[in-house]
Structure 1
C-alpha cells in the first residue's frame, strides 16, 4: 500500500474514532482521548501512557479518560504525526528521528555521539534542553507533553560482527526518514534504506536490508533478533521518544484538565524510566540466551567517521546552542 493510501486509511480510522458516540468518545459530560503507539502492549512507553490515562481519569473523577491503540493499530509514526496535527487523534508517542526533518530542534537530540550515557541524556531532557525542544512543537499545531528516553541505539545485522566502520561497507541498513541517520550511515560506509519500523522484520528476512539500528528493547520486542543475529555496541545515538498531543485537542480541554494532563505527562517520565531500565536488562539477557552474538566496538573510529556530520550541524545557531547545553551536562 502506498504512503498516501496508508495515511488516508489511518486518518479515516482515527476520524471515525473521533466522531464515535457514547462510551468511546464521551459520556456523562466526560471525554475519551485517543492515543497511539507503534510498540507492543508491554513496551515501556505504552505502559507509561496507560499509567497516564489512569492518572487523568482518577484526577478528573472520570471526566477525562484515555484509550490507547498500541502495536501500530492506527498506522505508522509518520502518519500518527499528521493525524495529531489535524486533530484526528489526540496523543501519540513518536521516535524523535521521525521528527527531525519537520521539527529541526529534535536534530540536536538525534545527532551521533552527542550524549555519553543514559544518565547524561536524562540530565539534558529534564532541564532546559528538553523544555526548549518541547516548546518548539507549538509552531506546527502540536503540544509537547513529555520526552521518554529509550537507551543507546546500536547496529545489528544478518551478516557479521561490526567492530569498526569498515565492517559496515556495502551493507544495507534500515534508517528512519531522517536526513541525519541517512547521512550517518553513508559516512560509516553503509547504504541507508528508509523503512517504517513495522517493515523491518520482513525486510531482514527477505534480505531487502542487511541490518538496522535501534535500542536493545525494540530489537527484542520486535523479534528482529531472530533474523539479525549480530548485535554491535556502537552506541551511536541516544535519540529519545516524544509524547505529543494535538493542539486542537489540547485547547478544547478545560483549563484544569489541561493542567492535569500536563502534570500527569511529566510524572509519567519517571514511570517509563523505571520500566525501561528493568525491561532493557531483561531484553539483553533474553537475546543473549537466544544465541545473539554481541560485541564491543572501536567507538573512537565511529566518532571520527561521523565528525563531518556534526561539523555541519554546528553551523546552525539553534542546534549549536542546544548542543552546547547538552555537552555542558556531560
Structure 2
C-alpha cells in the first residue's frame, strides 16, 4: 500500500521553486561550459583597418554562434611582437594572431614567395592568387608547424620612406640603413637594391628612426600614417616593391579543440571579415596618403622598372628550392 505524504500548498510551491532554480542553474552552467572565447593578439593601432575588421569578425562570430563564441582582441603588441605571438600559438598559450606573411616565412618556409618584389601585376592579380588554390595551399602549409591559416587581409603595397632625401632610384638607397621585418627575403631585397637591411621590431621603429639607428623603413600608407613615422620621415617614395598580405592564423591546439560546427563558424566569420577589411583598406589607404601629404611629407612616384631590374635575379636564386620556384611560376601564370 502506497503511503501518501501530505505537503502543504506553501511547501509544494517552495519545492517547485527550488526545482526551477536547480534547472536554471544547471542550464546556465551548461551554457557557460559551451562558451568559447578566443584570444587574438596583433601589433597594430586600434584605428587600423585590420583592427576594425577584427571587431567586425568578433561581432559576426557572436551572431553565427548565437553568443556561444567570441573573440577577445589585444592590439598594439600587448602580448608581444609578431614572432612572439606565433610562438604563443604554437604552444597553445594564445588562440589567434595576425602577422605579415613575411614573418610567417620563418615558420612556414613557402610563405617567402609573397616577399618577392614585383611578383604581382596588380591588385586583381594578388586577390586571385590569395583567394584561389595557391593561397589556400599556403594557408594549409603551416599546419605541420602548429599554425592553421584562416585567411588573408589586404596589406597594400610597401614603399620606402626616409628622413633626409627621397628614394627615386636604387642608387638613392646606397649607404642607407633601412628597417625591414624579420624576413630573410626582405633583407635580400634591400641588399639587392643597394641598401643596408636592419631588422627591428615594429614597436621600436619610431624611436630607432628618431635616434638615427636607421635612416628609413618601408611599409604601406596606413601603417606609415598611423605609426606617426611621417613625423620623422618626410619623404615617401611609392615604388610599391612588394604586396605582402597579412595572414590570420589560429594555433592548431585551439583549432583541433573546436568541434566541426565551431570550426565552420570561425572560418565563415574570418571570410566575412576579409571582405570587409578589403573595403576598409582601400578607404584607409587614400586617407593616409592625403593626411601625410597635408603634414608636409613629400610623396614621389619613382620609375618602378629601375627597381625591378635590380631584383629580378632574386627569382633565379630559388631554382634550388623546387617548391618555391614552382610557386613563383604558378603565380605568374594566374590571370
Q: TM-score, normalised by structure 2?
A: 0.89
Per-residue CA deviation, residues 199-244 of structure 1 (Å, 9 max, x unaligned), is: 1111111110000011111000101011111000111100110000
* Contact kept in structure 1, 2:105 and 2:183, CA below 8 Å: yes
In structure 2, what is the Cα distance between the partners aligned to 1:216 and 1:30? 38
Q: Does 1:307 align with 2:312?
A: yes
1:28 CA displacement: 5.3
**1:155 pairs with 2:181:** no
Of 226, 231, 256 in structure 1, the residue corresponding to residue 231 of structure 2 is 226
Please identify, of 192-201 and 98-107, the stretch whose mean Cα deviation from structure 2 is larger.
98-107
CA shift, 1:307, in A, is: 1.7
- Asked if the contact 1:56–1:264 (Cα under 8 Å) also holds between the matched residues in 2, the reply is yes
Give the whole-Å Cα distance in 2 for the aligned partners of 1:102 and 1:253.
Answer: 23
Match of 1:164 in 2: 169
Q: Report if aligned partners of 1:124, 1:329 keep a CA contact under 8 Å in 2.
A: yes
- Give 1:267 shift: 1.9
After superposition, the C-alpha distances for 1:236-284 in whole angstroms (9 at most, x for unaligned) are: 1001100000101111112101111111112211011000000111101
1:74 aligns with 2:83: no
Verify: 1:298 aligned to 2:287, yes or no: no
Distance 1:301 1:85 in 2: 41
Q: Deviations over 1:53-112 (max 9, x none)?
A: 111111111111110001111111110000011110100000111112321111111111
Mapped partners of 2:273, 2:165: distance in 1: 39
Partners in 1 of 2:110 and 2:195 — Cα distance?
26
Is 2:133 aligned against 1:119? no
The residue number in structure 1 matching 2:14 is: none
Does structure 1 retain, via aligned residues, the 8 Å contact 2:315–2:325? no
Given the alignment of the two structures, is residue 185 of structure 1 paired with residue 190 of structure 2, yes or no?
yes
Q: Which deviates more, 190-199 or 96-105?
A: 96-105
Task: Kindly provide the CA deviation profile for residues 293-327 of structure 1, in whole angstroms up to 9, marking residues without a partner as x.
Answer: 01111211111111221210244221122212221
1:6 aligns with none
Superposition CA RMSD, Å: 1.2
Q: Which residue of 2 aligns with 1:270?
A: 275
Whether 1:33 aligns to 2:45 is no
Pair 1:316-2:317 in alignment: no
8 Å CA contact 2:107, 2:142 repeated in 1 = no
CA contact 1:150–1:240 (8 Å) conserved in 2: yes
Q: In the TM superposition, what are the counterparts of 1:77-92 in structure 2 within 5 Å?
A: 77-92=82-97
Counterpart secondary structure, 2:241: strand
Cα distance in structure 2, aligned partners of 1:45 and 1:314: 35
Shift of 1:160: 0.4
Matched, 1:254 2:221: no
Shift of the 314–121 alpha-carbon distance from structure 1 to 2, 3 Å rule, reads farther
- In 1, the alpha carbon distance for the partners of 2:47 and 2:233 equals 22
Q: What is the alpha-carbon distance in structure 1 between the residues aligned to residue 192 and residue 71 of structure 2?
A: 43
Partners of 2:182 and 2:156 in 1: CA distance:
20
Matched, 1:141 2:117: no
Structure 2: segments with no counterpart, 5+ residues: 1-30
CA distance in 1, matches of 2:105, 2:33: 40
Larger radius of gyration: 2
Distance in 2 separating the partners of 1:169 and 1:75 = 33
